[in-house]
Each structure stands twice: as structure tokens, then as C-alpha cells.
């Protein structure tokens, strides 16, 4: 490795936690979680999601960060150095490719969010008293090639700008600025939401379970959501873990990341459902909840103009800190394995991601009739990554730890920085072991079968 490519580390423990929480907290929390919970009965789904996150999400997250920290390498290099096997190196390779594809469509939606800041600032929402009108306006915007590609490009440029500055000066510094803003903005929105007249129904929707709406499918959906929202299964957390010091405590950092991620999803749910119920709109509107329903909610709520701006800034920040982690995976691969400079890796792959994302952006307009296996280009990219590559990656990570690297080796490495916890609480070690060896592989395998449509 050349001196120029001397590997960076996080400047502080909190820097890692904020960057990793930034990766985890994204469109998955603020856009996806509320609508998936809305479609699956609210509180009952939330409870199952919490159980899945505690029993499987957290243990696998600890494992993924550990693989990175133990090797100080990108996903391909990490698996290669721990196993010496081409097969396992290719599991890391699948992660790098998945990150790249996810970024290509994730940044398209993130671009909508940037565009909606402009819509909010210019007061456009006040022209829409009905969700159908807001939906038509949304359709007009994403139907416009210049609008959709332009904001997508802008979002990619901002992401590249942060990643090119490096681990400490770009990602860590950016997270330390953006994450506190994000926490403050969500609190403002929750306070606004729950103090609206009629908000109680929305709060009850999120907190009072209706078990009749829970099916086997909702359980699998909850686990899938837990994976996507924790950025697991494709090497983002592994890469962030690789910049950690060997003295840092992985289990407590991971618990902090999970708590932050879960709190933001719940707070977003609270802000959105209290406002949606208070304004008499439909909580089960699905993926359009944010772009069709919320603009109308803002029209009807006192102070809606300001809160609409706050909301779309929040959504854009959340998407940005996640996109940064996606671009960092492929950047780390080219810097570590191919000895490229960071600048070259970011320019080349930021550019290629943009090119690959163009067909996704065009799925909403000129390519709307084009389909692959019955899906638009955008839906296809989402499907193969979220439903196939991520669960498969998560499954292979737990199998790798339990059966290839070996639980004993993993535990010995995990102990660095967590001696007190591991020596004094053997029960926690047992829970981690049961999860990584049995629970996670079996349950993730079920999610995988569900995702590819076996149970439909």
C-alpha cells in the first residue's frame, strides 16, 4: 500500500456511531417504515419489527462491523483475508455491487426529496387541498426528464463531494454536523404532529396493536425492513467498521446505532401518523404517503408552510448520510484492493452510478413502458438488491461467522474493547451465539424465500 493510500480511521468513537447511524437512518426510516407499518396494522407490526431487530438485526450488525474491524479492509479484502477463499471474497464482491446498484436508484428518490424542498419553499403545496391533486403534481414532476435527472445529478454531486473529502474530513465531519440537525428537525415535527387536534388517533394507531392484521408475511416483511434500515448485508457497516480502532467497543456501539435508528423510525411514524389522522387523511396510502398525502397534510395544518420545508430538509439529510455510506463501499474497494486514489475512485464510480441510475430515473417517464421481468428498471434494481442481494448477504455473513471464521475466533476479536461486557455478562454471549448460529440463518433464509415469492 502506498503512503498516499495510508488507511484512515475515525477520529472519535462518537464519529463512528454518528456516521453509522447516518447510514442506517435514511429513506428506509422516514419514507418506508411509516407506510409499511401503515399497511400492516400499525402497532402490531411495530412490535414484531422491534423483536426482529433485537434478536436478528442487532446480532448480525455486530458481526458485520466485527468483520470490518478485525481486518481493516473493504468487504472483498475482509472476507479474503479471514478465509483465504475466492468464494467468500465474492460474497464481499456481491456487497460492493449491491451498494452500487442501491445507490443508483436510492439517489433518484433522494433527488425527489431535494426537489420537494424547492416545492415547499415556493409554497406549491398550498395549491393542493386533495391528495389526488398532490399525486397529479407529483406525477407531473417525475414525468419531467429534466426535473428528475437534474435533481438526481445534484444529489450525486453532493454525495461525491462529501465522500471525496475522506473518512474523517468528509464522512465523519459531515455526520457530526448533519445528524444533530436531523434529530432536532424530527423532534420539531413530532411536537407539531402530536399537538394537533385529533392526533390521538394517530398515536393509538402506532401504539395499540391490532393483531388480526398480522400474518406470516408481516413477520417476514418486518425482518426485511430491519435489514434494509440497518444498512446490513452489503458491506456498508463492514466498511465503516473497518475504520474503527481495535480498542472500541463494538457491542455498545451497535446497540447505540440500533437505538438511534429505531427511535428515528418510530418518531417519523409518530410525526406522520399524528398529522395524517389529525387532518383526516388515509394512513394506508402506501409508497405515496410522503409525496401524495403529506403535502396535503401540510396544507391543512397550522404552520404547514414551515413544517413542509423542515420535513423535506430532514428527508434529504437522512438520504444523504445513507448515500454517502453506499458510495464509500465501492470507494473503499478501489482504494484498498486496486490502490486507486480516493479522488479517482469517487469520480469514476460516482459518475458510473449516475449513468446506471439514468434508466431508473427514466422509468418514470420516457422508459415507463420498458420492463424487465415485468418490472420497471427502477423496481427491478430495487427488487434484486433489497429482496435478493441484501438478505442473501446477511445470511452469508451469519453463516460465515458461525461456520467458516468460527464463533470462537469471532468472539476473541469481539472481546477487544468489550472485555468488561463479555467477561461479566456470559448470557449476552450465549444470546449472540444462538442468534448467529441458528436463529439468524434460519429466519433470514425464510425471508429470502418470501422475498423471491415462494410464499405468494
Per-residue binder mask for ligand PFF (CB under 6 A), 181-220, x = binder = ----------------------------------------
Q: Minimal distance in Å, beta carbon 68 to ligand PFF?
A: 13
- C-alpha to C-alpha distance for 79 and 405, rounded to whole angstroms: 9
Does residue 99 belong to the site contacting ligand PFF (CB under 6 A)? yes
40 and 378 Cβ atoms separated by less than 8 Å: no
Binding piece for ligand PFF, criterion CB under 6 A, among 294-302, 319-327, 349-357, 367-375: 319-327
Helices 145-164 and 304-338, axial angle in degrees (round to 10): 60
The gap from C-alpha 81 to its chain's centroid, in whole angstroms, comes to 27
Distance (Å, whole) CA 375 – CA 363:
10
Is residue 34 involved in binding ligand PFF (CB under 6 A)?
Answer: no
Concatenated DSSP letters for 386-420?
IIIIHHHHHHHHHHIIIIIIIHHHHHHHHHTT-HH
**SS3 breakdown of the chain: % helix, strand, coil, rounded to 5?**
80, 0, 20
- Taking the least distance from each CB to ligand PFF, the nearer of 236 and 399 is 236
Centre a 10 Å sphere on the Cβ of residue 350 and count the other Cβ atoms it contains.
21
Residue 124: alpha-carbon gap to chain centroid:
29
- Phi/psi region, residue 286 (left: phi>0; alpha: psi -120 to 50; beta: rest), is left
Q: Which of 22, 28, 170, 193 binds ligand PFF (CB under 6 A)?
A: 28
262 or 279, CB closer to ligand PFF? 262
In angstroms, give the least distance from the CB of 235 to ligand PFF: 7
Q: Which stretch binds ligand PFF (CB under 6 A): 51-59, 196-204, 271-279, 321-329?
A: 321-329
The 8 Å CB, 24+ separation contacts for 402-408 are 402/436, 402/437, 402/441, 403/437, 404/82, 404/83, 404/85, 404/88, 405/67, 405/82, 405/83, 407/433, 407/436, 407/437
29 binds ligand PFF (CB under 6 A): yes
Shortest Å, Cβ 91 to ligand PFF: 15
Query: In the set 48, 260, 289, 326, which binds ligand PFF (CB under 6 A)?
Result: 326
Give the one residue of 26, 41, 92, 357 binding ligand PFF; rule: CB under 6 A.
26
The torsion angles phi and psi of 61, rounded to 5 degrees, stand at: -60, -45
Among 17, 24, 117, 120, the residue binding ligand PFF under the rule CB under 6 A is: 24
Stretch that binds ligand PFF, among 163-171, 202-210, 318-326, 367-375 (CB under 6 A): 318-326
Identity of the residue, 41 or 393, whose beta carbon is nearer to ligand PFF in the bound complex: 393
User: How many CA atoms lie less than 13 Å away from 414 in the CB half-sphere?
Assistant: 28
- Least distance to ligand PFF from the beta carbon of 321, Å? 9
Q: How far is the CB of 96 from ligand PFF (least distance, A)?
A: 11
Q: Distance of alpha carbon 12 from its chain centroid, rounded? A: 23
Among 218, 275, 325, 435, binds ligand PFF (CB under 6 A): 325
| Closest residue by Cα to residue 138 from 162, 159, 112, 161 | 112
Q: Closest CB to ligand PFF among 125 and 400?
A: 400
Query: Which lies closer to ligand PFF via its Cβ, residue 227 or residue 405?
Result: 227
* Residue 171 DSSP SS3: helix
Q: How far is the CB of 326 from ligand PFF (least distance, A)?
A: 5
Stretch that binds ligand PFF, among 1-9, 20-28, 284-292, 373-381 (CB under 6 A): 20-28
Residues 6+ apart with CB under 8 A from 26: 106, 229, 231, 318, 319, 321, 322, 323
Hey, what's the cell of 183? 434529530
Stretch that binds ligand PFF, among 18-26, 72-80, 110-118, 284-292 (CB under 6 A): 18-26
Nearer to ligand PFF, 75 or 417 (CB): 75
Site string for ligand PFF, 223-262 (x = CB under 6 A): -----xx-x--x-x--------------------------
Q: How many residues bind ligand PFF (CB under 6 A)?
A: 16
* Alpha-carbon separation of residue 432 from 223, 325, 331, 332 (angstroms): 17, 26, 31, 28
* Between 114 and 278, CB nearer to ligand PFF: 114
- Given 175, 322, 376, 413, the residue binding ligand PFF (CB under 6 A): 322
Least Å distance, CB 161 to ligand PFF, is 18
Which residue of 16, 20, 21, 23 would you call a contact of ligand PFF, by CB under 6 A? Answer: 23
Select 21 or 422, whichever has its Cβ closest to ligand PFF. Answer: 21
Q: How far apart are CA 252 and CA 190, in angstroms?
A: 27
Interface residues with ligand PFF (CB under 6 A)?
A: 23-24, 26-29, 99, 102, 228-229, 231, 234, 236, 322, 325-326
Amino acid at each position: 500500500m502506498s503512503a498516499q493510500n495510508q488507511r484512515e480511521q475515525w477520529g472519535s468513537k462518537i464519529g463512528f456511531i454518528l456516521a453509522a447511524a447516518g447510514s442506517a437512518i435514511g429513506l428506509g426510516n422516514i419514507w418506508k417504515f411509516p407506510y409499511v407499518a401503515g399497511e400492516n396494522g400499525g402497532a402490531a407490526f411495530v412490535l414484531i419489527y422491534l423483536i426482529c431487530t433485537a434478536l436478528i438485526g442487532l446480532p448480525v450488525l455486530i458481526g458485520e462491523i466485527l468483520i470490518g474491524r478485525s481486518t481493516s479492509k473493504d468487504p472483498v479484502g475482509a472476507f479474503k483475508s479471514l478465509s483465504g477463499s475466492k468464494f467468500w471474497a465474492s460474497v464481499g464482491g456481491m456487497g460492493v455491487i449491491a451498494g452500487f446498484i442501491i445507490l443508483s436508484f436510492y439517489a433518484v428518490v433522494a433527488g425527489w426529496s431535494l426537489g420537494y424542498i424547492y416545492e415547499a419553499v415556493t409554497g406549491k403545496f398550498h395549491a393542493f387541498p386533495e391528495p389526488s391533486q398532490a399525486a397529479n403534481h407529483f406525477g407531473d414532476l417525475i414525468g419531467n426528464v429534466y426535473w428528475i435527472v437534474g435533481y438526481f445529478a445534484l444529489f450525486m454531486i453532493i454525495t461525491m463531494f462529501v465522500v471525496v473529502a475522506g473518512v474523517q474530513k468528509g464522512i465523519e465531519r459531515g455526520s457530526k454536523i448533519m445528524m444533530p440537525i436531523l434529530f432536532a428537525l424530527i423532534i420539531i415535527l413530532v411536537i407539531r404532529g402530536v399537538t394537533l387536534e385529533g392526533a390521538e388517533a394517530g398515536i393509538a394507531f402506532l401504539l395499540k396493536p391490532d393483531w388480526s392484521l398480522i400474518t406470516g408475511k408481516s413477520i417476514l416483511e418486518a425482518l426485511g425492513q430491519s435489514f434494509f434500515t440497518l444498512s446490513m448485508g452489503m458491506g456498508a457497516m463492514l466498511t465503516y467498521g473497518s475504520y474503527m480502532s481495535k480498542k472500541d467497543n463494538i457491542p455498545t456501539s451497535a446497540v447505540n446505532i440500533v437505538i438511534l435508528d429505531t427511535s428515528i423510525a418510530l418518531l417519523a411514524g409518530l410525526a406522520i401518523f399524528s398529522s395524517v389522522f389529525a387532518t383526516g387523511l388515509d394512513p394506508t396510502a402506501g409508497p405515496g404517503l410522503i409525496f401524495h398525502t403529506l403535502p396535503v397534510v401540510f396544507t391543512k395544518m397550522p404552520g404547514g408552510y414551515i413544517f413542509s420545508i423542515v420535513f423535506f430538509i430532514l428527508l434529504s439529510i437522512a438520504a444523504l448520510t445513507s448515500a454517502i455510506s453506499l458510495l464509500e463501499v465501492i470507494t473503499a474497494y478501489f482504494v484498498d484492493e486496486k490502490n486507486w486514489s480516493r479522488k479517482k475512485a469517487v469520480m469514476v464510480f460516482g459518475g458510473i452510478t449516475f449513468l446506471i441510475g439514468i434508466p431508473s430515473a427514466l422509468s418514470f417517464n420516457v422508459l415507463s413502458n420498458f420492463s424487465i421481468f415485468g418490472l420497471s428498471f427502477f423496481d427491478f434494481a430495487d427488487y434484486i438488491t433489497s429482496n435478493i442481494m441484501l438478505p442473501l448477504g446477511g445470511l452469508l455473513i451469519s453463516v460465515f461467522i458461525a461456520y467458516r471464521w468460527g464463533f470462537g475466533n469471532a468472539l476473541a476479536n469481539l472481546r477487544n474493547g468489550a472485555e468488561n461486557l463479555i467477561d461479566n455478562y456470559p448470557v449476552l454471549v450465549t444470546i449472540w451465539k444462538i442468534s448467529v448460529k441458528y436463529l439468524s440463518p434460519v429466519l433470514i433464509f425464510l425471508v429470502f424465500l418470501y422475498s423471491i415469492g415462494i410464499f405468494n
